[in-house]
Amino acid sequence: MIKFILVQNRQGKTRLSKWYHPYDDDEKVRLRGEVHRLIAPRDQKYQSNFVEFRNDKIVYRRYAGLFFCVCVDSNDNELAYLEAIHLFVEVLDAFFQNVCELDLVFSFYKVYAILDEVFLAGEIEETSKQVVLDRLDYLEKLE
């Protein structure tokens, strides 16, 4: 299962953080810093997208200046989570029509809503992009 999801830019500013495991506030701050220091300097070309982290591992993917990191159990399928990250990014991209970092900043509450449609309780909830987007459209209309 997923312990937490972090989206950070290259400077280490966190644009999205979702915790499925009850960490206290100090721990969250520490984790953000540690993950950034671990991921940011990694080489895109010569290094894998997996890093062992404490007793778990982090699967991350970089899109332009943003790192999407998920921390998962050490016996989970890394490759599948890599795909899951991509699915999430595709949904974001379709929703915002060419998503950029500013979209995540100004519509952060929508990003959380999208995240909650894709992942729930640390597991993948829906794998069809279209189903998620339809849902989100309805929700927008309700506002």
Partner 1 sequence: MSGHYNLKALIKAIRSCKTLADERSVIQKESAAIRTSFKEEDSFARHNNIAKLLYIHMLGYPAHFGQIECLKLVASPRFADKRLGYLGIMLLLDENQEVLTLVTNSLKNDMNHSNMYAVGLALCTFANISSEEMSRDLANEIEKLLGSSNTYIRKKAALCALRVIRRVPDLMDHFTNKAKALLQDRNHGVLLTGITLVTEMCELDDKICDEFRKATGLLVKHLKNLVTTGYSAEHDVLGITDPFLQTKILRLLRLLGRGDATASETMNDILAQVATNTDSTKNVGNSILYETVLTVLEIEADDGLRVMAINILGKFLTNRDNNIRYVALNTLNKVVAMDTNAVQRHRNTILDCLRDGDISIRRRALELSYALVNEGNVRVMTRELLSFLEVADNEFKLGMTTQICLGAERFAPNKRWQIDTVLRVLKLAGNYVREEVLSSFIRLICHTPELQFYTTQRLYAALSSDLSQDSLTLASVWLIGEFGDVLLQGGTIDDGEEVKQVTDSDLIDLLELVLNSPYINTLIRQFVLTAISKLSVRFAELSTPNQSTQQDRIAEILASFSSNLELEIQQRAVEFGSLFGKNEIKMGVLERMPPPEIRATIMGTVSERRSVGSTRTDKDTVVDLIGDDSAPNTASLNGGSSGPSTQDLLADIFGTGGNDLTSPSTSAPSAGPARSAAADIMSLFDSSPAPAANPPPAPSASSGSNSLFDLVTPSSSSSAAPPPAPAPAAAPPKTQLQSYTAYEKNSLKITLTPKTSPSQPGVVQILARFTVSGGEKVEHVNFQVAVPKTQQLQMQAMSNTDVSPGSVETQQMRVIAPAGAAVRLRMRITYSKGGQNVTDQQDFAGFPADLTGAK
Residue numbers at the binding site for partner 1 (CB under 8 A): 14, 17, 19-20, 22-24, 29, 43, 45-52, 77-80, 82-84, 87, 105-106, 108-109, 112-113, 116, 120-121, 123-128, 130-131, 135, 138-139, 142-143
Q: Which is nearer to partner 1, 64 or 142 (CB)?
A: 142
Task: Output the six-digit token pair for 25.
Answer: 């506030």
Q: C-beta of 94: minimal distance to partner 1 in Å? A: 14
Task: Output the six-digit token pair for 79.
Answer: 């490759």
Cβ atoms within 10 Å, residue 52: 10
Q: Which is nearer to partner 1, 64 or 105 (CB)?
A: 105
Q: C-beta of 36: minimal distance to partner 1 in Å? A: 13
Task: Output the six-digit token pair for 119.
Answer: 């992942």
Q: C-beta of 78: minimal distance to partner 1 in Å? A: 6
Show Cβ contacts of residue 33 under 8 Å, excluding neighbours closer than 6 positions.
Answer: 12
**Using CB atoms within 10 A of its CB, is residue 143 exposed (0-12), middle (13-18) or buried (19+)?**
exposed
Largest CA distance in the chain: 47
Q: Which is nearer to partner 1, 94 or 113 (CB)?
A: 113
Q: C-beta of 22: minimal distance to partner 1 in Å? A: 4
